[in-house]
Structure 1
Amino acid sequence: MNQTIETLLHHRSIRKFKDQQLTTEQIHTIIRAAQQASTSSHVMAYTIIGVTDPSLKSELAKVSGQPYVKENGHLFVFCADLKRNQQLGSAEEQVVIQENMESTEQFIVTVIDAALAAQNAATAAEALGLGICFLGSLRNDIQRVSSLLNLPDRVVPLFGLAAGYPDQQPEIKPRLPLEAVYHENTYPSPERQQQLIQEFDKELLNYYQNRSSNARKATWSSQMIDKYKKPTRLDVGPFVKEKHLNKQ
């Protein structure tokens, strides 16, 4: 099998890392790979912040609630960023530019650009023999993270990416069957979706009950129901608008 495909298919989140920092060469290789991701209209509407200050890592770990935000080989924070582009043009042009930047469309562009870059970074890290874990938990207090990182207007912290040398080898978590996420020409019937979900629930329950650590009794359905029954991070929407993004 192609080595790149094999790397992608063997992805698993690593939540325990060895006490070994990434080299500057490794970090720059990961960033260069991230920069080669596709970007809408060559906008490149993201910024990546590498966090090396131990005290800053500790503060971010408090926001996240996860120890591996602090204990890793390197911590990257991916941000949606239209501040860089806002500064272009004459004073008159900037008035129009800034107004257009506040649209939902342009916010979607920044988020997609950052996500594509982050996935390239993750694949590059794993190709180097490292492990990674995405950290949406940094949005538990998005205002605090923004303050800690001194993020200006039109820059929003989206998620972190912890990378390092794995100190665990977790099993690969099952994914929904291909038939549940890929459809030709039309969306499937609810009955077909329910059938596929029920089959996946059985597979995931077996995985959770038999994995080498943190065994539990849960299905995909039960986790999704619990997730969406409880509102979370409702401050993110107002925060984004305060940053003059996604306002129209």
Structure 2
Amino acid sequence: MSELSASDPQAASGRQQTAEQVREFFAGHRTVRQYRTEGGQPIPLPQDHLDAVLYAAQRAPTHSTSQLYSVVQLSDPAVRARMAELTGNAHIAAAGAAFVLCADIHRTAQILRLDGVEPGAWPDVANHFAVGDAVMAGQNLLTAAEMLGYQGCWIGGVLNHLAEIVELLELPAGVLPFSALTVGLSDEDTPYRPRLERETVVHQDRYRLPDEAELRRNIEQMNPIAARGGQPGDWARLLKMYWGAGGAMEQREAGLSAVKERQGLQGSR
């Protein structure tokens, strides 16, 4: 069932909410990794809910009208289980719905060739815009799911075994997984998680370098996000695990570069 029918532009007139309603909605956002199940099996989204979130994904903004992304919906329990194993995220198998958001220039190249045009050489530009398209589509999907009462989780663990995931999903050249995304009915009491001070993130006209005192104040504000087992959090330590020398991101670097080259999405250095 296609959900891409045109709507009356005037239908948007009743969409306006107050600033407080908008703040309240986004304050309710939680990243959830534990989902309600029945008899140990996922509780799938009703078809109309699934249609709605996928409709939202396809209504996302896109660069140059190109829609440089694809969404792989994970329906087969065996594929879900394998993805859960490869990403190290068990909730892919338990969520109400699971997806992989991919940067996709393959389809655009196909359309150009269909019109007798040879695609240009633009792997770095393709990476830039296709990842942006995938992110916007995925966030639209997640926001729509939250409007329907679900919660979700972006999963960067696709980089843990990226080459195997490309093979599992049979992705052609020009298609690269950006992230997995799960949504479902929450089965956890997730606390409100802080964010950096607005002044540190939002700059006026020019980039402003924060001083040490501001950074330390922000670290203190973010520490609760790293709390574990009743122990106080240490956000800097958490960042070190991901972004420090020898951390998780450095370990993923070689694998990502190799798969990008294999998929034709690695620019010259």
TM-score by length of 2: 0.83
2:29 matched to 1:11?
yes
Written as runs of structure 1 = structure 2, the 5 A alignment for 1:103-118 is 103-118=123-138
Written as runs of structure 1 = structure 2, the 5 A alignment for 1:36-75 is 36-75=59-98
Q: Which amino acid aligns with 1:29?
A: A
Contact 1:8 1:123 in 2 (8 A): no
2:251 matched to 1:232?
yes
Q: Which amino acid aligns with 1:205?
A: N
Written as runs of structure 1 = structure 2, the 5 A alignment for 1:1-248 is 1-2=18-19, 3-19=21-37, 20-90=43-113, 93-95=116-118, 97=119, 99-100=120-121, 102-191=122-211, 194-206=212-224, 208-209=226-227, 214-228=229-243, 229-230=245-246, 231-233=250-252, 234-248=254-268
Distance in structure 1 (CA, Å) of the matches to 2:35 and 2:83: 17
Q: Secondary structure at the match of 1:69?
A: helix
Number of matched pairs: 240
Contiguous gaps of at least 5 residues in structure 1: none
Q: CA RMSD in A?
A: 1.9
Distance in structure 2 (CA, Å) of the matches to 1:90 and 1:104: 20
Distance in structure 1 (CA, Å) of the matches to 2:180 and 2:45: 16
Q: Secondary structure at the match of 1:156?
A: strand
1:12-57 superposed Cα distances (whole Å, 9 cap, x missing partner)? 1011001111122111110111111111111100000110111111
Distance in structure 2 (CA, Å) of the matches to 1:131 and 1:14: 6
| Offset of residue 67 of structure 1 | 1.3
Q: Secondary structure at the match of 1:232?
A: helix
Q: Which amino acid aligns with 1:215?
A: G
| Offset of residue 5 of structure 1 | 4.0
Distance in structure 2 (CA, Å) of the matches to 1:58 and 1:64: 10
Cα 1:40–1:16 change in 2 (3 A) is same
Cα 1:89–1:207 change in 2 (3 A) is closer
Q: Secondary structure at the match of 2:161?
A: helix
Cα 1:137–1:10 change in 2 (3 A) is same
- Greater relative contact order structure (CA < 8 Å, 6+ sep): 1
Contact 1:131 1:165 in 2 (8 A): yes
TM-score by length of 1: 0.89
